[in-house]
Amino acid sequence: MNYRKIGKTGFSVSEISLGTWQVGGKWGDPFSHDNADKILNAAVDAGINFIDTADVYGDGESEKAVGRLVRSRSEQIFVATKCGRRLQPHVADAYQPAVLRQFVEDSLRNMQLETLDLVQLHCPPTEVYYRPEIFELFDRLRDEGKVQHLGVSIEKVEEGLKAIEFPNVETVQLIFNMFRQRPPELLFKEAARRDVGLIVRVPLASGLLTGKFSPQTSFSAEDHRNFNRNGEAFDKGETFSGVDYATGLAAVEELKRVFPDDSRLAAFALRWILMFDEVSCVIPGASRPEQILSNLKAAELPALSAEQMQAVREVYDRKIKPLVHYTW
């Protein structure tokens, strides 16, 4: 496993880490703590030391599983959680310091930990990034020993650029993959200049970049890839990176010609992300323990060639960019 520094936090984290959106099982299934324990322990056994969760994953059950892992292992494991998406309705006015403080305390209770390594605002509405009192709260929580570091999870590049103007924002979590190539244009440069860590989520575009989907692939009624394709439930960009499904499939077929060993397309897609030095880590999810080992195959691949990087960019420019580039 290779490790990278995550911005000003000073944490040295596994470049391929773990997101826990699906750690309790497939999307829409009841949360399985047995499944979560197997996945989480397999991750640590493989050298993963950074785990991303959120208070809304499994309605707090994911946090409980992650906390149990941390307490049961001797290795140093860095935990990032998120707060804000429990607000109903999820609107800017609902973001209030007292409410966010309660969310942080709830996460501490869920995980049975004394302090949180990293707390991230969970994709708040854009207006929240213009309210200093929200960010000041986390200075007080740090002084109280409840949190160590603050980050943000964003939907739009502009939100990240605004967030890192606050000196206590030390990480930005964002969607970045072969189908989402806008962030390096400016955000990556500004994050590097300010020593802000970048955590990459949705690296496989909701599975499209595994190369395993077809027009006949079906998703359950409870799967966001079925019900959120047009943004009915949350930001459309979280599902297939906002790319129309048929367009995504066509682009994947072209990528398979760039990487002929299409059984390893997912590993190549993760390796592509790691070609960007500004990236601190990528957090693919796993709903089965064996997916951990599959994700880690990316670390074994050699650096992509300049020709491969250019070919990926050309597919994006022709197939994807005109449709979604400036949306996020």
pLDDT of residue 29: 78
Query: pLDDT of the chain along its 328 residues, tens only?
Result: 899 999 999 999 999 999 999 898 776 678 999 999 999 999 999 999 999 999 999 999 999 999 999 999 999 999 999 999 999 999 999 999 999 999 999 999 999 999 999 999 999 999 999 999 999 999 999 999 999 999 999 999 999 999 999 999 999 999 999 999 999 999 999 999 999 999 999 999 999 999 999 999 999 888 899 999 999 999 999 999 999 999 999 999 999 999 998 789 999 999 999 999 999 999 999 999 999 999 999 999 999 999 999 999 999 999 999 999 999 9
For the chain, give percent helix, strand, coil, nearest 5. 50, 15, 35
pLDDT at 14: 98
The β-bridge partners of 79 are 51
Q: What is each CA distance from 238 to 4, 194, 228, 242, in whole angstroms?
A: 25, 26, 9, 7
Asked whether the bond before 183 is cis by omega within 30 degrees of 0, the reply is no
Supply the pLDDT for residue 25: 75
Alpha helices in the chain (DSSP H): 33-45, 61-72, 97-111, 132-143, 157-163, 187-193, 224-227, 245-258, 265-274, 289-296, 306-315, 321-324
| Contact between residue 63 and residue 107 where contact means Cβ atoms under 8 Å apart | yes
By three-state DSSP, how is residue 16 classified?
strand
Residue carrying the six token digits 């009192």:
133
DSSP 180: B
All residues at 6 or more sequence positions from 56 whose CB lies less than 8 Å from its CB, including other chains? 82, 85, 86, 122
Q: How would DSSP label each residue in 82-119?
A: EESTT-SS--GGG--HHHHHHHHHHHHHHHT-SSEEEE
Q: Which residues make beta-bridge pairs with 198?
A: 172, 279
What's the CA gap between 137 and 29, in Å, rounded? 35
Q: What pairs with residue 122 in β-bridges?
A: 153
Contacts of 143 (CB under 8 A, 6+ apart): none
DSSP strand pairing (78-83 vs 50-52):
parallel
